Structure 1
Amino acid sequence: MSSLEVATAQGTVRGTVDAHTGIRRWKGIPYAAPPVDDLRWRAPRPPEPWTGVRDASTFGPAAPQPRFPMFDIGEGVSVSEDCLVLNVAAPESAGPDTLRPVMVWIHGGAYIVGSGSQPIYDGPRLVRDGEVVLVTINYRLGPLGFLELTSFGDETQTFDTNLALRDVIASLEWVRDNIAAFGGDPESVTVFGESAGGGMVTTLMAVPSARGLYHRAIAQSSPATSIYDAARARIVAEQFLEKVGVAPEDVSRLRDLPVETLLKASNALFDAVPTAAPGRLAFAPVVDGDVLSEYPIDAFRAGRAAPVPLVIGTNKHEAALFRLIRSPIIPIKADAIRAMFSQIAVERPELVIPAEEDVMSAYSRVREKARGLAVARDLAFRMPTVWLADGHSTVAPVYLYRYDWASRLLKALGIGATHATELGYVFGGVRSRKRSVEFLLGGHAVARRVSERMQRRWTTFAATGRPDGGAVDPIWPAWDTQTRRALVIDAGDRVADVDAGLRAAWGDEPLSFR
């Protein structure tokens, strides 16, 4: 058997090797059975074994999702419910006798789009320079991954909860059982993700059954408080049933509907839910009392989350992207923000909601037109991250960051270090010799150095649990509630307390829907 042929628990797969980098790749490996027919809206099952050698040279299908021209899931990648596959990339140095740290990437995309095959997640420099084994996964999206139907089931029709979260857990079980054959160390696994993927990471840390499957975690721009209860989830499910023309007592028909019908309904809900209720997402993990027994923010605040080292942070201008693409999922206008505060106050009377004038005092130096963006950024991303870090720092090391770097072009466009702009730096795409349009106004040399530092910190953390990054300065201190020092990632990194004014305005009690 050649080094590209690897025996897994289900059968042998044959990958490819990149002639330029020496990186070995295996794509489209099933980690669960196709969730189709009777398995639609059921927990993932183990994949069927195969005989012979399975070709693993091309990506498997992405999960069913709406297609946006600006969102590239990969050249030639199809879309299918048979999407529970993963991809492995290993450096030349990795082998069964030379195990390397494993980094498992959970993609973002507002819980409705995305894939592990997206070109931006192709990380040859991360794999080669960091000497890590990189795994990227697919999981079910939108209604197929997050719709809560258990309350509509009966003795003849069973539905499971939190399917996407269960998918991620199944992929980590596959990693535990198989990754050593690819040169990865199953005792050194880091889960990392961005946006919805970051939310999956922080949610996963509150899931008792996932403990032991990973040993470190990185959450980039996690919407950590966008988790809902069963009552709210049922409301969305009822709206979904109405849009597809299925009565609650006839819910079994859902398993026979074409995927296109499901996607059409989910697209309508994706826009309608946050428009009617600012700050809410149509699809998100649910506190189901089974996989997830409590809100992750509560688990973190009480020190009950998995006690593993955590890197967590946000981008300086998170919300600017949502204004640019005119997305309703982040409330930006003053009336929408006020409506969101009012809804939280009604739903959670036990909370002391900060007065509007107290909150706005933190933004006195922000241009009036940009204040909505700043408030939305901090309520959706920054403050949940800080609240979470405060609690988790009592049980495990936490390394808090804020990503401030933006190219001249992004600054000229008025979006700066907005949501997801760090991805090309984490995966090293900006280190390519070929300059992208992002650097039409210059800054490529600085960007390459920013990327090198980030990659060194991320991979060192994956290997050791500390993001010191070798010779990278400054030393990134662990977060504590006394000094509150975070790493600011920019053209030159620095360590500072960048959230003092926000904490004074927002308070210490997490604000979120339930």
Structure 2
Amino acid sequence: MKKIVVLLAFLSIGSLNAQQSSTGSTVKTASGLVQGVVEGPSEVFKGIPFAAPPVGEFRWKAPQPVKKWSGVRDAGKYAANPAQAGWGAKPGTIAEGSSEDCLYLNVWKPANAAAKAKLPVMVWIYGGGFTGGSASSPQNYGIEMNKNGVILVNINYRVGRLGYFAHPALSSELPNEYKGNYGFMDQIAALKWVQKNIAAFGGDPKNVTIFGFSAGGVSVHSLITIPSAKGLFHKAIGHSSGGRDGVLTGRPINKENADVLYAVSAETIGMNFAKKQGITGTDAATLAALRVLPVEKIVDGGQETDGPNGPRTHSGPIFDGKLVVETAETAYMSARQPKIPLMIGNCSAEIGGAFVSNAKTKEELFASFGTLEAEAKAAFDPEGTKKFEEVIAKFNTDWVWGEPARMTARTFLAKGAPAYVFQFGYVPTSSQQRSPYGAGHGSDISFVFNTLGAHWGGPGGAAPTITPTESELARIMCGYWTNFAKTGNPNGANLPNWPMYNNQNQDILDVELDGKVVAKPDQRKARFDVIEKAMKNRDKIQSRGI
């Protein structure tokens, strides 16, 4: 059975106005002293290592301990992004500013926060299709969150083949160690760093919220259901994160889960990649040869064409059976997730085109639902007047992100945990002709961080014009998110009421096309209902990637 793999990257396309920096305070971490910089109302500690550089013998190994340092470490500059191809990088190179030495994080705290303030902590996990991303994007700066009394931690994690890779030679080396999901191991190592060190920055290690977008949102689901991540956080937020199966490859672990796995194992994919590099075998010498490959030969963004020996391009999460022991959907359906508050949602028109289905017309798309054809047509195009482009955009969005979010919210409710569901649909007037059906993938992120200059502005261009509607919407959303981090409830003073999700009314917070914030029953119910039925027969739906 084919599966959807969410491999969309969304990186900031602009930059905020530079903040005037001055020397900040010195904080004692478990590895040594760090000195940050004061930027406006925030104190920022940049490029703090949470694990040893994953290079040489540590390539494709679990994060190793940081070497302690003497003296004071300058935390005034961001570290490199994880090695990635990036846009515009020439073949045989990696993106400027990226490096295999990448296991660093950034801490944003209110400049006036006392060392024992016990402020709530939010840990951001970037998107990028598990092949790219950055913990230092201006879109994800923490100034406005700091103003709301929350500490922000942005973490790097390995991506692409450096972050998700399997090979028999790796499996044989120290077989009791976790294998394959090095990016997830990095995320867990960073969360352990937070537990051990954040109190020194004024944070509360007993009040940590993880949140992420796209691949970062998928990571949130994974962390919720990975046993070794238990207890490292206390609330979760998923942006365009899905929740159903479809992002794992590996080998069947047992009969219950065999149907959610790719037919080709992650080890086979790794061996095919090695063959392309002229490396064969499965012994220690093979592994040594792989570990001395130039990083540029390993990083290709996951876009390389499969070779004559089979697929070699998968670079996302792996069902290894030790770290990742089941899919999020399987865990949720069996109530094996922790009882923690959840906030989850997506944008209203994430992506169009042949993302899920190869259908070229509405009729062809509806026919792919088989016996549910009439119900699908009634749900997506009841009057028969919608353009195919609108129908396919809504179908893609609902199939990959919308209905899985509802499924996830329902399972959390069944566990007795509060769940809050949102849909973000705002599109600037100037962009509505280009995006007439709603907000695209990642449109909500700069509003959550209240960093609109980073999203709407172009690099090196004139300062963007931010309308009063946008400014107010960003204030509201940043307020919701930071309130949730504080209490598990997004509501607070000077914010429209956001009702907790329930199975009767299915109330959500809807940010409409014009930016109006409305709480109402989910208008997508009929579409979600038919997709939920189709999900039970995914192998019968004639579409690509399902």
- Does the CA contact (< 8 Å) of 2:167 and 2:268 recur in 1? no
Judged with a 3 Å threshold, the aligned counterparts in structure 2 of structure 1 residues 266 and 419 are, in CA distance, closer, same or farther, namely: closer
Amino acid at match of 1:267: Q
TM-score by length of 1: 0.85
Between the two proteins, what is the percent identity of the paired residues? 31
**Counterpart in 2 of 1:214?**
233
1:403 pairs with 406, 417, 424, which one? 424
Which blocks of at least 5 consecutive residues in structure 2 are unaligned?
1-22, 90-94, 252-261, 539-544
Judged with a 3 Å threshold, the aligned counterparts in structure 2 of structure 1 residues 154 and 430 are, in CA distance, closer, same or farther, namely: closer
Whole-Å Cα distance in 2 between the matches of residues 284 and 203 of structure 1?
12
1:3 is displaced (CA, Å) by 6.1
TM-score by length of 2: 0.80
Amino acid at match of 1:256: V
Judged with a 3 Å threshold, the aligned counterparts in structure 2 of structure 1 residues 336 and 177 are, in CA distance, closer, same or farther, namely: farther
1:174 pairs with 188, 193, 216, which one? 193
1:246 pairs with 252, 264, 279, which one? 279
* Structure with greater proportional helix content: 1
Whole-Å Cα distance in 2 between the matches of residues 227 and 480 of structure 1?
28
- Does the CA contact (< 8 Å) of 2:63 and 2:185 recur in 1? yes
2:324 pairs with 292, 296, 314, which one? 292
1:331 is displaced (CA, Å) by 3.4
**Counterpart in 1 of 2:349?**
317
* Match runs of 1:23-422 below 5 Å: 23-69=42-88, 78-128=97-147, 130-149=148-167, 153-155=171-173, 160-224=179-243, 225-231=245-251, 232=262, 233-249=266-282, 250-264=286-300, 266-268=302-304, 282-320=314-352, 330-331=355-356, 333-334=358-359, 355-364=372-381, 366-395=386-415, 396-414=417-435, 416-422=438-444
Give the structure, 1 or 2, with the largest relative contact order (CA under 8 Å, sep 6 or more).
Answer: 2
The answer to whether 1:5 aligns with 2:5 is: no
Deviations 1:160-203 (A, max 9, x none): 22111111000000000000111111111010111110110011
Matched positions, count: 482
**Counterpart in 1 of 2:517?**
493
Amino acid at match of 2:145: L
Judged with a 3 Å threshold, the aligned counterparts in structure 2 of structure 1 residues 336 and 203 are, in CA distance, closer, same or farther, namely: farther
Deviations 1:459-497 (A, max 9, x none): 000000001133311x21221222211110232211222
1:406 is displaced (CA, Å) by 1.1
Deviations 1:341-389 (A, max 9, x none): 99xx9xxxxxx98644543442215312332222222221112111111
Report the secondary structure of 1:393's partner residue.
helix
Whole-Å Cα distance in 2 between the matches of residues 440 and 505 of structure 1?
45
Root-mean-square deviation (CA, aligned residues, Å) is 3.4
- Does the CA contact (< 8 Å) of 2:409 and 2:419 recur in 1? yes
1:509 is displaced (CA, Å) by 7.2
2:498 pairs with 473, 476, 494, which one? 476
**Counterpart in 1 of 2:257?**
none
1:291 is displaced (CA, Å) by 1.1
150-159 vs 218-227, which moves further? 150-159
**Counterpart in 2 of 1:430?**
452
- Does the CA contact (< 8 Å) of 2:235 and 2:340 recur in 1? yes
Which blocks of at least 5 consecutive residues in structure 1 are unaligned?
71-75, 346-351
Amino acid at match of 1:477: P
Deviations 1:185-223 (A, max 9, x none): 111101011111011001110112111110111100014
1:391 is displaced (CA, Å) by 1.1
